[in-house]
A and B are shown apart, each in its own frame.
Chain A
Amino acid sequence: MDLENQQRIKDLAEEHGPENMVVVLGGAEAEASGLACETVTNGDPTFAGPLAGVQLGLACYHVLEPEIKDAIAEDAYEEQISMMEMVLDVEEIVEEVKTYRDKYSKYKLEQV
């Protein structure tokens, strides 16, 4: 994950409180999405950026996951997201992000 963005996420978590933050990913493939999720939950795995050793434990979801998808108006989802949903390996991406979230997120969205 971009070092500059790591700093922004760190600053935002301090400003708003980590319990109020949700990181939403739009990654095209599973491994990179999982790495981004790991970075904002358990810290930068490459130990290169501002989040190295910083376990924010943020709630982190991919936009294709039902927790996020269901919060978006259907027509807006259709217009902005659904085309990519058709070409991406949704199952693999979701599984990978969920693995890191289950392992490291201290905060999660409550399922309604």
Chain B
Amino acid sequence: MLEGKKIAILGDRDGIPGPAIEEALKTSEAEIVFTTTECFV
């Protein structure tokens, strides 16, 4: 489903941080082009 997609990750310090999402999405078919962790509030 994510094949060929470019992923931008907006993680959350109080939720799921960017690097955790990145690690998880590395196992998908998508290409990660940006990862950050925001303080959402």
Q: What's the Cα separation between A36 and B10 when bound, in Å?
A: 9
Inter-subunit contact A22/B15 (CB<8 Å): no
Query: What does DSSP make chain B's interface, helix, strand, loop or mixed?
Result: mixed
Q: Which of B8, B17, B20, B27 sits near A22, CB closer than 8 Å?
A: B8
For residues 1 through 41 of chain B, which have their beta carbon under 8 Å from a beta carbon of chain A?
A: 1-2, 4-12, 14-18, 20-21, 23-30, 33-34, 36-38, 40-41
Inter-subunit contact A1/B38 (CB<8 Å): yes
Given contacts A28-B12, A32-B40, A81-B24, contact A71 B6 (CB under 8 A): no
16 A-B contacts (beta carbon < 8 Å) = A12-B6, A12-B34, A21-B5, A21-B8, A22-B5, A24-B8, A24-B21, A29-B15, A32-B12, A72-B27, A73-B24, A73-B27, A76-B23, A76-B27, A77-B24, A81-B20
| 4 further interface pairs, Cβ-Cβ under 8 Å (given A25-B10, A32-B40, A72-B25) | A25-B12, A26-B9, A63-B21, A71-B1
